[in-house]
Amino acid sequence: MPRIFVPLLVALALSGCASMQSSDTFLGVITPYRLEVVQGNVITREQAAAVKPGMTRVQVRDILGSPLLTDVFHSDRWDYIFTIRRQGAQPQRRSLVARFNGDLLATIEAPELPSESEFVASITTAKLSSKPPVLALTEEQRKALPVPARPEPSVEAAPAGPVRSYPPLEAR
């Protein structure tokens, strides 16, 4: 009996490990922590629209940030690559290529980029409630608040702790 039971148990355990690799949960209950990996510069539609042919390298760097890849053999090409892998959101990869003619931008090649609000919405994993929180009190709620006590006029009181005399910091 043990000769059959042990190999059967091992086979069952190994088949469970194989199913764990493709799943985000363990036994449908426990979600393991996955490291959030962000690489490169976030490039949005608004940033790409601000970059125009004829701009200098410094101006392009000011708007888009430093390129992720600059190649010695292709000095007139800057590659901006952005990847993000976040638990609960779809992995994303975007790239943008800026080509220069000397020190001036010649062309910019980019796929359809999201706007800033679209990008934030695509990586947000928090469950948003449909009802926004109330941030102001109504007039009835204000009237229901207790009236704060008026402070007593303060009289100069002597220090509560010991009074210390320190020597001067600089010689006179």
Give which of 52, 54, 55, 82 is closest to 67, Cα–Cα.
82
Q: Are strands 92-101 and 69-70 parallel, antiparallel or unpaired?
A: unpaired
| pLDDT at position 26 | 62
Query: What's the rounded Cα separation, in Å, for the pair 24 and 14?
Result: 18
Q: Which amino acid is at 13?
A: A
Share of the chain above pLDDT 90, in %: 30
**Mean pLDDT across the chain, nearest whole number?**
82
The predicted-structure confidence for 146-159, as pLDDT tens digits, reads as follows 988 888 877 676 66
Domain architecture of the chain: domains with CATH: 31-112 (3.30.1450)
The predicted structure's pLDDT at residue 150: 86
124/110 Cα distance (integer angstroms): 24
Instruction: Please tell me the chain's helix, strand, coil percentages from 3-state DSSP, rounded to the nearest 5.
Output: 30, 20, 55
Closest CA to 36 of 124, 129, 128: 124
**Model pTM above 0.85:** no
pLDDT over threshold 80, residue 12: no
Q: Show the CA angle centred on residue 85, arms to residues 121 and 81, nearest 5°.
A: 90
The yes-or-no verdict on residue 18 having pLDDT over 60 is no
- Which pLDDT score, from 0 to 100, does residue 68 have? 87
Residue range 57-107, pLDDT digits in tens? 999 999 999 998 888 888 899 999 999 888 778 888 999 999 999 999 999
Instruction: Please state, in angstroms and rounded to a whole number, the distance separating the CA atoms of residues 37 and 6.
Output: 41
β-sheet bridge partners, residue 81:
95
How far is it, in rounded angstroms, from Cα 87 to Cα 124?
Answer: 10
Q: What is the pLDDT of residue 1?
A: 66
Q: What is the reported pLDDT for 63?
A: 93
